[in-house]
Structure formats: C-alpha cells, structure tokens
Structure 1
Amino acid sequence: MSTLLYSLGRWSYRHPWRVLVGWLLLLAVVGGSVGVGMATGGIKGFDNSFSIPGTEGEEGLKILNRTFPQASGTSAQFVIVAAPGDSIEDEPYRGEIGTAVSSLGTLDGVLAVTDPFGDTVSGMVSDDGQAALIRLQFEGTVTDVPASTKTALEDESTSLRAALPEGSQVAVGGDLFSTSLPALSIVEVIGVLVALFVLIVTFRSLVVAWFPLVSALIGVALAITLIFLSTAFATVSSTTPMLAIMLGLAVGIDYALFIVARHQDQVRAGTDPEESAARATGTAGSAVVFAGVTVLIALIGLGFAGIPFLTTMGIAAAAAVAVAVLVAITLTPALLGFAKARVAGWGYGLSRGVAVRRR
C-alpha cells in the first residue's frame, strides 16, 4: 500500500494541473447530470418522511391511518385573541374568523377545519370570550405537508390579523410547525473560517493553510452531488446531505492535514519537495486510507439496525468519506506540487529549491 501511494503521490505532484482539472471535470459532469435530472424530473429529490418498521409506534400509526384517517395526520391551530374590552364572539371577529375558516379549507393537504363557532363544536372559545381556536387537520405526517401550505397558513394569519380591530392578536402554530429539518446556516461558514485561521497559525503559511480546506470542499461538493444523483433510483432522507457535509468536512480536512503536515516537516528538514510529497503520501497517506476504511465500516454498520433511513444515511456518509480519502491522496499532493518548496512557511527561505531556515 505504501509503495502504491508513494508512486501516486509523486505522479500527482508532477502533474498538479491534470489532477486538479480531473477532479473539477468529474464534479462538473456529476453536477450537470443532477441539473439535467432535476429539469427532466428523473431526480426525485429528498424524502422528508421517516419510518421505523416493526416498532409498536409505527404499527399504531398504520392502524390509525386505516381506521381513522381524519385523525391520523398532523395538525395546526390558529389562536385569535380579541382586543382588550372586545368579545371574540361579536363582530367583526365572528365574521372574519368564518371567512378565514372557509379560506383555510381550500388549502392543499387540509382534511378538515374546525370552526370555533360551529354548532357541534365546544371548548374552542375561552370562557371569558376573549380568545378562539381554529383547528386544522392535514393528510399524512408533518413532512408530507408541502411548504407552500405552511406559507399560505402564515399569510392567512397575517391577513386575519390585519382585518381584525387594532389590538387583536393572531398566532399560528401546532404540530405542523414544531418540526424543523436541519439545513446549512452561517454557523457552518463561521466554522470553516475558524478552521482556516487555525490552519494559518499551525502551518505559518497563508498558502498551505488553504490546501486541506480546498481538498475537503471539493470532496464534499462531489459527495453531495452524488447523493443528489442517487435520489433518481433510491429514497434518500432530507437529513442525509447534512450528515455527509459534516463528516465530509471533518475527515476531508483531517486527512489532507495529515499529508500536508508530514510534507511540511520533511521540507523544513531539507528534503526535496517532490520526494517529500511522495513520502508523505506513502506514509501519512497509508494512515489516511486505514482511518477512512475504519470509518466506512462503522457507517455501513448502521444498516444492521434495520432502520431504512439510518441505512441510507450510513451509506451516503460512507460515500462522502470514501470521496474524502480519494481526494486527500490525489489532490493534496497535487496542490503541494503547485507550492513547491514554499510550503515551509514563515521563517524559511529557498536555496536551490530547498527550504532553508532564516537566521
């Protein structure tokens, strides 16, 4: 393994443009395939539904869905509070609430809307006549309700608040709004910037600090596009990309860091940069492959739990780790080939292509 990685590292160092362009072309091809698939409808996108077959809870939900479907889905509520001194049962509250109930009943996915002033309804108006509750029942689970319906509910809440007298309050909530799916945020961007700062301090070089990040980001981008592509023939949960991104960034930076750190130490010791890159890939690269395979086995082992969405998440995350390993042992020495002996960092100069410590 070490001999093979040594040769691979030397070749990548000598042909940095070929390696870099090769990875970028592969990313462009996969990304283009995803774009075409989404345009033609071949790629289904991510599935927001989760199930755990064989559990009592799952069986109970199935029985409820068969025997009492109108109560098996998720729900939402509108809470309307009258202005101080007003009664919710007087006009214009009663009329505006009735209009809102009629409008809500036409939304996509709504099975039923409970009018708080209905003849067969009780307990939907407070005893003091200050507040009323509109209840909505939807088909399926929280993740089955389209985002457009949630937006329409919020818009209806705003419209109802504007139509009622000043001082009135309208709020929308319930089970439908209690579940949020993970998504990228500014926190991840801050984390990458912090990682860059730490790498700059560690390597004492602005150039070298970017190498682990570039390797990790290219690997993550390729892994995510591959996961998108896999939705054309498999059901992938919406939480899978986030797990792949987090693991891909973590191991991608670490694996490239192993090779770059070993290479920098050897160059500072006076080793020829090309020979150093080959050695670093053969030695530190072997540790990268071993660590990557260990993580792969652990992630694929999630499939033994017998939970479909966990199995899918494990396989997708394992694919992200595999891509990170391949990028680390090929693209990292190629990036080192661009820098040559300049990887030594601050406090070192060049003498005939070899790093020399300044006095």
Structure 2
Amino acid sequence: MSTLLSSLGRWSFRHPWRVLVSWLLALGIAGAGAVVLGVGTDNTFSIPGTESQAGLEQLSRSFPQVSGTNAQFIVVAADGDSIDDDAYREPIDDAVSALGDLDQVLAATSPYDEMVDGMINDDDTAAIVRVQFDGESTDVSDETKDALRAVVADLGAELPDGAQTSLGGDLFAISIPGVTLTEAVGLLIALLVLIVTFRSFVVAGLPLLTAILGVGISMAGIFTATAFATVSSTTPLLALMLGLAVGIDYALFIVARHQDQVRDGVDPEESTARAVGTAGSAVVFAGVTVLIALIGLGFAGIPFLTTMGIAASVAVAVAVAIAVTLTPALLGFLGHRVAGRPKKPRANTSRKTKKVRAATARAASEAADGAEAPP
C-alpha cells in the first residue's frame, strides 16, 4: 500500500495540471447532473417495524381525515371583553372559512361549532381554532404555511384593540436543519488555525481548497441521485459536515508531513512521495474505518438512515481520493514555497538555563586546573 501510494503521489506531483483538470471535470459533470436530473430531497421520515409507525399507518387507513398534522391558533379577548361577542365571533368565523379554502387543509374547526366542545375556556375570554392538514408536517408546503400566517395576521388586525392571537401546533414543531452561516464561520476559524500552524496563507488554504472541492462533488452527486432514489433532506447536511471534517483532516496529514520534510532539506518531489506513502497510508486506513461505520447504519433497517450512511460514505471516499491525488498535485504547484516562513530561533534563554551552563563551565574549569596541578 505504501509503495503504491508513494508512486501515486510522485505521479500527481509531476502532473499537477492533469490531476487538477480531472477533478474539476468531475465537479462539472456532477454539477450538471444535479441541475438536470435533481428533483429535490424528501422531508418524509418513516421507521418501519416500530409500534409508532404501525399506529400511524393504521390511523391513516382508518381515519385519514385526522391522520395528518395539525395547527392551531388561540384568540384571547381584550380585558373586559367576551370571546362570544359579535366583534370576535364574526372575524373568527370568517378566518375559519378562509382557512378551509387553503391548499392541503382538510378541515378548519370553529370554536363556535355546536358539534365540538372545549374550545372556549370557562371564562369566555379565549378560544382555539384547529386546522387539520393532509399529510405530515414535512409535506405541507411553505406557501400554505405563509397563507396560514397571513390569515391569522389579518384576523388579529380585525379584532378589537387589546386582543391577541398566537399561532402554533404540530405543523410548526418540526424544523428541518439546513446549511447556515455557521458553516462559513467554522471554515474561517479553520483557516485562521491553519495559518497559525503552517505560518503560510497559501499552505493553510490548501486543505480547505481540497475539502471544499470534495464536498462540492459529493453534494452534486447526492442531488443527482435524487432522480433515482429517495434522499432525505438531512442527508446533504450530514455529507457536508463529514466531507469538510475528513477532507481538511486528511489533507492536513499529508501537508504537515511534507512541510516538515522540505524544511529538513528533502527535495519537494521526494518529500511528496514519502508523505503520501506514509501519511497517505494513515489517511486510507482512517477513511476505510469511517466508511465501514457509515455503511453499518444500513443494518438498522431504517431507510433514511441507510441513505444517510451511503451518502456520507461517498463523501468520505471522495475526500480520501482527493487527499492522495489532488493534494500532492497542488504541492507540485507550490514547490519549495511549501516550507513557509521558518521559525525564528529563540534569542534569550531562561535564567535557570544560564545558571546551569555557568555551573557546568565552572566545574569543567576546576577539573582542568586539577588535572594540570603537579603531583
């Protein structure tokens, strides 16, 4: 393995443009596939074989009208007012009628409906309006949610001064995580740490560049795969996090070893071959163990976990391949510049060290005097 990786690193060092163009071409193909074939991720989650999933399926078969998610909003009357007053009853009934016309809404229940009970409190100061949707909360479109918020906002504007409305329910209890500014801040912090470590902006940016390229290829491949398989919305985020983490880490192994060797006077080409053969072996071994762990998620028998494991393992495999090919190619572009700024020797020694040196010198002097004394 070490010999093979060493030869691969040497070849990549000698042909950096071929390696770089090949990976950029792979990124372009994957990106085109994502744009042309991608159909988006799926927000529906199921865990077959569990009692809760069996109960949901039975409820959907027996009472489909109540098997979906729901939302509700509460209306609180102003001080001294009653929720049964016409100033509240008419706007609330109009809002219920408007909600019933929204897409994906199965039913909107008025608190004044004679067929229901318990939706107005004992003091007649607050009432609850319930809205039943078709499907799970992740199936309800953003347009429907915005329309629901607009109806409640309009109702609040029509009610007397001092009245309050508050929207909630299961529909708003689940949020799907996505890529935010936090990831960009994390990359910036990583860049600063690498600059301090390598004392070179160019060398510090190399692990980040390879990691971002690998993540781009992996993410594009995942969205391309949505045309052929169901991919949950959390899968790309997991692949992004793992791809960035291992991508930076694996490239860092090789670059750090290479920089130390070049500073010790080793020729850059020979140093690259040694770094890929030694540190690259550790990269491949670490990547294989992560792949096994991620693919092992499929043994849980949960479809979305299996999909997440496979997608994340692809991201890790791409990170390993880039680390042992593109990293030495970029080192070929840098040449001797990878050494960065050498460490400055310490000009001052500690007081304790000076005392030790002085005592050693005195002892040596006394020993020499004793040796020169006549018998």
Aligned to 1:22: 22
Give the conservation status (yes or no) of the 8 Å contact 1:348–1:358. no
Structure 1 stretches of 4+ with a deviation exceeding 4 A read none
Structure 2: how far apart are the matches of 1:69 and 1:337?
64
Secondary structure in 2 matching 1:80: strand
| Alpha carbons of structure 1 residues 84 and 217: separation in structure 2 relative to 1, 3 Å | same
Structure 2: how far apart are the matches of 1:161 and 1:338?
64
Aligned to 1:113: 108
State the AA in 1 paired with 2:16: P
Aligned to 2:328: 333
Of 278, 289, 302, the match for 2:297:
302
Give the conservation status (yes or no) of the 8 Å contact 1:75–1:137. yes
User: After superposition, where does 1:336-355 map in structure 2 within 5 Å?
Assistant: 336-347=331-342
Structure 2: how far apart are the matches of 1:347 and 1:298?
40
Structure 2: how far apart are the matches of 1:338 and 1:152?
55
- List per-residue Cα deviations over 1:102-122 (Å, max 9, x = no partner): 110111111111101111121
Compute the displacement of 1:358 (Å). 12
Compute the displacement of 1:292 (Å). 0.6
Compute the displacement of 1:249 (Å). 0.7
Compute the displacement of 1:55 (Å). 1.3
139-148 or 221-230, larger mean C-alpha shift = 139-148
Structure 2: how far apart are the matches of 1:216 and 1:306?
31
User: After superposition, where does 1:16-95 map in structure 2 within 5 Å?
Assistant: 16-37=16-37, 43-95=38-90
| Alpha carbons of structure 1 residues 260 and 358: separation in structure 2 relative to 1, 3 Å | farther
When normalised by structure 1's length, the TM-score is 0.93
Instruction: Say whether 1:225 aligns with 2:220.
Output: yes
15-24 or 204-213, larger mean C-alpha shift = 15-24
Give the conservation status (yes or no) of the 8 Å contact 1:10–1:278. yes
Secondary structure in 2 matching 1:135: strand
Compute the displacement of 1:84 (Å). 2.2
80-89 or 254-263, larger mean C-alpha shift = 80-89
For structure 2, which runs of at least 5 residues remain unmatched after alignment?
A: 348-375
Instruction: Say whether 1:172 aligns with 2:167.
Output: yes
Give the conservation status (yes or no) of the 8 Å contact 1:74–1:137. yes
| Alpha carbons of structure 1 residues 358 and 328: separation in structure 2 relative to 1, 3 Å | farther
User: After superposition, where does 1:120-131 map in structure 2 within 5 Å?
Assistant: 120-131=115-126
Instruction: Say whether 1:273 aligns with 2:268.
Output: yes
Secondary structure in 1 matching 2:103: coil
Structure 2: how far apart are the matches of 1:241 and 1:86?
51
Share of identical aligned residues, percent? 65
Give the conservation status (yes or no) of the 8 Å contact 2:295–2:309. yes
State the AA in 2 paired with 1:23: W
Compute the displacement of 1:347 (Å). 2.4
Structure 2: how far apart are the matches of 1:211 and 1:217?
10
Instruction: Say whether 1:100 aligns with 2:100.
Output: no
84-93 or 114-123, larger mean C-alpha shift = 84-93
Of 126, 135, 145, the match for 2:130:
135
Q: Which has the larger radius of gyration?
A: 2
Secondary structure in 2 matching 1:211: helix
User: After superposition, where does 1:233-248 map in structure 2 within 5 Å?
Assistant: 233-248=228-243
Aligned to 1:193: 188
Compute the displacement of 1:348 (Å). 6.8
- List per-residue Cα deviations over 1:78-97 (Å, max 9, x = no partner): 11112222222213221111
Compute the displacement of 1:335 (Å). 1.5
Compute the displacement of 1:64 (Å). 1.0
Structure 1: how far apart are the matches of 2:120 and 2:335?
76
Instruction: Say whether 1:158 aligns with 2:158.
Output: no
Structure 2: how far apart are the matches of 1:348 and 1:114?
74
Structure 1: how far apart are the matches of 2:261 and 2:246?
23
Structure 1: how far apart are the matches of 2:110 and 2:231?
38
- List per-residue Cα deviations over 1:239-271 (Å, max 9, x = no partner): 111110111111101100000000001001110
- List per-residue Cα deviations over 1:278-326 (Å, max 9, x = no partner): 1111111111111111111111111111111111111111000000001
Counting matched residue pairs gives: 347
When normalised by structure 2's length, the TM-score is 0.89
Compute the displacement of 1:156 (Å). 1.5
Give the conservation status (yes or no) of the 8 Å contact 1:347–1:358. no
Aligned to 1:287: 282
319-328 or 340-349, larger mean C-alpha shift = 340-349
